[in-house]
Amino acid sequence: MAGLRFYESMMKFCCPSKRKPPLPKTLEPTNILNKTSGPITSQPCSRTTKITNLRGNEVYALYDYSPALSTELAFQRDDELTVIDHFDQPWRTAINRRTGEQGLIPHNYVTNDATIAGVLSAWYPVGRIEAEKKLLIPGTETGTFLIRPSRGPMTYVLSCRTLCEGVVKIRHFQICRTNDSKDLYIDKAFPFATLNDLLGFYKEHPLIDDCTLTKPCSREKPQTPFHKAEISRQSVQMIRIIDKGSFGEVWLGRIQSVEVAVKIPLVTACRDDFIREAQKMHTIWHAQLVQFLGVCTKPQEESVLVITEYMPNGALDKYLQTEEGRNLQQIDLLSIMDQVANGMVYLESIKLVHRDLRAANVFVAKDGRVKVGDFGQSKMLSMPSSCPTDLKTPIRWSSPEALINGKEVTSKSDVWQYGILWYEVFSYGGVPYEKYTVEEAIRAICSGVILDPPEDCTWRMYELMRSCWQLVPENRPSFKEVKQRVEFIIESLDGNYDPTWATCEG
């Protein structure tokens, strides 16, 4: 009888029924953020109804979305949407396959990974440590889970909160594909056609230690991008200054109910170049990058304003020297390096060179997550000629090729700086080549003198740092390789996937 019930359960999850989601809510347009005027914009299209014959660029909704403007499209989590225009813009023209309506959708509310389409409520594009932090939040019930990316192509990891002999433990189960890539499994004996089938099965049958899955880990919706890179100056409320340096001032500001960081540079590139670069920046988004929201360039007699996402805990270099930062453990520091690598993999993929990757340009969110900031802004902002050389160019963080006139700076130069960042993080804000003068630092860097390993830095970590400091740029790893090595270090220190289950072949 037990065997029959087990067979019936298996049939249930191999042939699941799909419920039709309820109709989306609608909301009258009230958002003044998207009514600003300026030269940088995606032209909105009017919403139409019942367009059902287009296919090709399918994406899947990660969250519910209620429009704030008549040109926006309503959708619910799990809806399938077809993108038909503005493919590289923050707001893309799409058709809701369920309702047939057309309008603009925010790009950070959707994914193009069809495999996770049925389990979007459980999807978190985070690493191992971040997954554990989310599942260890007090009040989270046993069996809470999430699905996250794995190192291997087209594979995933199921992370679940379990209770073993009264002790909470986060377990990680690798989800692999069969040799023909048709099915997914944790245990080879039970392959499934979809992730949704797999999760459904383990909601009724224990993964380990009598632990069954209960519900996905909760998450907050991200800030939607502004429709236009040109933001009305009148909509920006300046609250207080939070930083001041050679580049200018940074203020805490507010646009409607959204807290933002407002940078007032002392000097900028010519206005046309500035606007052109702002237009490029407005199309860039990644979870590990400080979101560029827009600029204020009008009226021309006023200073330009650069508006970005606000990070309450400030720059990483200063955060590491606070009591909270000093209490970070080795695994927390590794998480920082993993998150930075994740953001840099994206910049590398779009061929954008940061040029100034260091702890002062990595920022800490309220929940301790970090994001890379000030990427691509070197072309928008310029230093006053009166500034010391060491401030114009971050000498102690620079790669040899960046210090030699005429040498091309590439993403491999960012890799060098990533190695220096590792030193900063594991020395809790230490200054690289601190005992050297500027001239001595230049000679040391160009002749191959590298930094000693900081405390709590294992030989495997230091080997990664050393690989970033190869004098010949081509000999340094790519950020994709760096990311894989960081994940391997984390797994070697924090435990591998649960040994009860088979790992993916190959």
Q: Please tell me which residue in 78, 79, 356, 498 is annotated as part of the active site.
A: 356
Do residues 310 and 252 lie in contact, with contact meaning Cβ atoms separated by under 8 Å? yes
φ, ψ for residue 151, nearest 5 deg: -65, -35
**What are the start-end ranges of the E strands in 279-395?**
292-296, 305-309, 362-364, 370-372
Do residues 305 and 234 lie in contact, with contact meaning Cβ atoms separated by under 8 Å? no
Is residue 342 classed as helix, strand or coil in its secondary structure?
helix
Do residues 494 and 169 lie in contact, with contact meaning Cβ atoms separated by under 8 Å? no
What are 16's two structure tokens?
A: 């699941």
Is 404 exposed, middle or buried, given 0-12, 13-18 or 19+ CB atoms closer than 10 A?
exposed
Closest by Cα among 305, 288, 391, 421 to 349:
288
What are 492's two structure tokens?
A: 């070697």
Strand order in the sheet with 102-106: 102-106, 91-96, 80-85, 58-61, 110-111
Do residues 446 and 384 lie in contact, with contact meaning Cβ atoms separated by under 8 Å? no
Q: Is there a catalytic annotation at residue 356?
A: yes
Dist. CA 419–CA 410, nearest whole Å: 15
Find tokens 């400091």 and name the residue. Answer: 469
Dist. CA 426–CA 333, nearest whole Å: 7
Show which residues are catalytic.
356
